[in-house]
Amino acid sequence: MVKQATQLAPQKESVWRALVEVSQMADLKELRQEAIIALSKLTPQDTTSQLMRLRDAIEGTNTVDARMAVYEQLLLDGRKAMLHPRVSSRLAQRQLGDVNQFARWLAESVALDPSNPDAMALAAGFFGDESADVYRRAELLASALLSNIRDTTLHVALAEFLMAYGDYEDAKVLYELVLGNDPRSAKLISNGLLGDIVLSQWAADDVVAAMDTLLTRQIAVDELYRNKTRVEQPRLTPLELARIHAPLTPKLATLRAAIYATEDDEAQAAITLDSAISSILAMAALYELQVGEAGAQVIDMHLQVAWVAVWLGNDSEITQNAIQHVESLATISPTEKQRLDGWVALRNNQLA
């Protein structure tokens, strides 16, 4: 019926597109090729039909060498100008061969069509590795982001890069674009990502924004925690429920404690430090339940307690107890042990 429709309305684009889809579902290759050729003639400026026709020609080859020859012919300077940039870009991106050839065609793809998100993301990863200079990596990441402005993973990648090199203000701007989705939802903004966002706000000297982000997440998790508690303990009064607060993840709790440690509120600093340590120990207990023993993650958590306590607090006993607990499970590296002992001595005013 679709084929008959093309005979009745040969100038109707939608009919030919329907024939392409039907022939593809029915695995009628010859009919599909016929429909694609007719569609490309009817819509010479349509990149989709160009790509379908070219892809058929390329996939009709039987060897890698034959396919490479087709690519080379299609991307000759004279013919390249006849192709829509997006078509040329995707052809260049699909090149096969060694690393040098891959780099050549990837660069060609980006040059032909900087708005091609696949090519730009691939170029950022390939050309922007650790061996590239900082400015080149920044330019590649920024270009990849501009090619697909809605991809939040690219926002995060560029923000992480900027944070690593001390550009906290610009990192904060990018992170807050991501945060704009919904800071309350752990499904949309993970706790790990939220921690990076808070860190960028604090590093950019915007303590109010950092605390507001943390408070927003705290309110959200409190609500979930109280709803769960209400079901489990229906006899609790509204006042008793209101006093219940959900623990933040170790990263968020530690960030909150670190921020308060720099403020002029010793009481709140002590409360948030206790909360951070409790959160880390609770996570360690969960890991221990899962593996049935003190694995590497459990040991690492107790070491985190030692460091957080000695960095943010004045009670060296917490650190010393954490060190003793770790040493009962494993051997602390001499370098780390010396550093911890040095911090404990500093807190106890025992430096020689």
User: CA-CA distance, 149 to 143, in Å (whole number)?
Assistant: 10
Read off the pLDDT of each residue in 297-317 and give the average, rounded to a whole number.
Answer: 91
Q: What is the pLDDT of residues 210-224, one digit of tens each?
A: 999 999 999 988 998
Q: Which amino acid is at 66?
A: A
User: CA-CA distance, 201 to 252, in Å (whole number)?
Assistant: 13
Contact between 47 and 87 under an 8 Å Cβ cutoff? The reply is yes
Is residue 168 in some structural domain? no
User: CA-CA distance, 304 to 114, in Å (whole number)?
Assistant: 44
Range of the domain at 279: 271-352
Is residue 320 in some structural domain? yes
- Residue 16 scores a pLDDT above 50: yes
Is residue 72 in some structural domain? no
Is residue 325 in some structural domain? yes
Q: Higher-confidence residue: 171 or 75?
A: 171
- Residue 336 scores a pLDDT above 90: yes
Q: What pLDDT score does 254 carry?
A: 96
Read off the pLDDT of each residue in 151-166 and give the average, rounded to a whole number.
Answer: 87
User: CA-CA distance, 97 to 249, in Å (whole number)?
Assistant: 47
- pTM of the predicted structure, to 2 decimals: 0.66
Q: What pLDDT score does 12 carry?
A: 65
Is residue 306 in some structural domain? yes
Is residue 98 in some structural domain? no
306, two tokens: 């030692």
User: CA-CA distance, 292 to 269, in Å (whole number)?
Assistant: 34
Q: What pLDDT score does 102 carry?
A: 53
How many domains is the chain partitioned into structurally? 1
User: CA-CA distance, 341 to 322, in Å (whole number)?
Assistant: 12
- Residue 346 scores a pLDDT above 80: yes
User: CA-CA distance, 276 to 254, in Å (whole number)?
Assistant: 5
Read off the pLDDT of each residue in 335-343 and give the average, rounded to a whole number.
Answer: 92
Is residue 346 in some structural domain? yes
Under the banding of pLDDT at 50, 70 and 90, the label for residue 51 is low
Q: Higher-confidence residue: 14 or 199?
A: 199
Is residue 193 in some structural domain? no
